[in-house]
Structure 1
Amino acid sequence: MLVCSCNFITDKDIEDTIVSLLDEDCWQLIVPAKVYHAMEKRGRCCGCFPNVVDIIIRTTEAYHAQRDSTEAEVFDFMTRLKEFHEENRRADVERRRKAHRAA
């Protein structure tokens, strides 16, 4: 399935890249920018990033399930990922500015 139409990247390309990153360090935090950098691509419109995050989560969970990781390790990783996601969401909200009009 085509995930990024700007760069013509399929879900298989993304999954393969994630697995190669996890083979290097299975507990690293993987974000869309890291995946695109590993593929030597860049996000253009970045509309695909939410789908890439879903693929990262799904692929990482499957990777650790196949490797017999302990539940505590997987739970810790997912907790860190959710905290990272929430911190970035808060930062985005804080950066938004309301339109100011001069009276």
Structure 2
Amino acid sequence: MLVCQCNLITQKEVEEAIVALLDADPWSLIVPAKVYHSIQKRGRCCGCFPNVVETIIRVTENYHSRSEGSGMDVVSHLDRVRELRAEYGSRGHERRKTGHRAA
């Protein structure tokens, strides 16, 4: 599945980059820019970043559930991230008001 049309990046490439970053440091903060940098690409229109964030959450959750660490800390942290995303991510579309028209 194609995640980024601007750079022609597939879902598999993003998942492999996330796993590689987690292998290097399992508790590092992974953001879309870090994923793109690891596959030597740049976000152009950045419309794919919300999907990349969802992929980061899913892959990180799966990675840590398979690891030997305590799963409760990971799950509670990821639930908190989802709550914050729901709270702040859906306020407005690219900071535009409801009645905004581009043309």
* Shorter-chain TM-score range: 0.7 to 0.9
Gaps of 5+ in 1: 99-103
Q: CA deviation at 1:67?
A: 1.1
Q: Which ranges of 4 or more aligned residues in structure 1 deviate by more than 6 Å?
A: none
Contact residue 65 and residue 71 of structure 2 kept, 8 A: no
Identity of aligned residues (%): 57
Partner of residue 29, structure 1 = 29
What is the number of residues matched between the two proteins? 96
SS of the residue 1:3 aligns to:
strand
More helix per residue? 1
How far apart are the structure 2 equivalents of 1:70 and 1:19? Answer: 19
Gaps of 5+ in 2: 98-103
CA RMSD of aligned residues (A): 2.5
TM-score, with length taken from structure 1: 0.75
CA distance change for structure 1 residues 27 and 80 in 2, over 3 Å: closer, same or farther? farther
